[in-house]
Amino acid sequence: MLKSASPQPTYRAMPALRQGGVLRELLRGELDVQAVVFTRCCDTLMRLADIWERNTEMKVYNLEFPSRVEEKSKEYYYREMKDFVKVLEEWGGEVTLESLKESLSLYYELEEKLKKLFSIKPDYDAAKKVQEMNVREAIKLVDERIRKAEGGDKKPKVLITGSVCPFVEVYRLFGDAGFALKDDICTGTRFFHLQHTSEGYKLG
């Protein structure tokens, strides 16, 4: 989302687990944003984009993601991103190669720190919070959580698997019962555990 309160455009993330809350803010007139970008990756987001366009005067952009990873998909996604950059610049932003390199480097650092945190002690509260934070502040938060997690007691591990579970209280139940967690869920390690190296973040 592009906020309007600052002379320079600033951005706010809207992860899948926040869709309902943000929609309520919109309909109540509590949302101070100038524009919104939807990633049209599922029927829910496509319908939410329709509701948004019908009920606001905001700028709205729909970013399409290819559903298959192949050469044609890469070409398609590249064109989508080029169009998206043009739109951002029309909205008042500026996208340069240097700013992209810096952003990719910061998100790679955040991803690696989240991996380290979850290897010590899964922290679903942190995984949820970083999705709506400035990346530099998110890195600081994860560093702090790593320091607190190091040196903790070893506990027997329980594997949880599934799709989206935004309620961190569910995970705390296992900790209260004396277990450590290992997960395979969209709001846990699937959110940041991607198969690539830092080379994949380099441009130019």
Q: Tokens 């190669």 map to which residue?
A: 97
pLDDT in tens, 39-83: 877 777 788 888 888 888 888 888 887 877 788 888 888 899 899
For the chain, the residue count is 204
pLDDT in tens, 17-42: 455 567 777 777 777 777 888 887 77
Q: Tokens 């002690």 map to which residue?
A: 121
Name the CATH topology of 2-94.
Rossmann fold (3.40.50)
For residue 163, give the 3-state DSSP assignment: coil
So where are the chain's domains? 2-94, 98-191
Phi, psi of 16 (to 5 degrees): -55, -35
User: How distant is the alpha carbon of residue 107 from its chain centre?
Assistant: 10
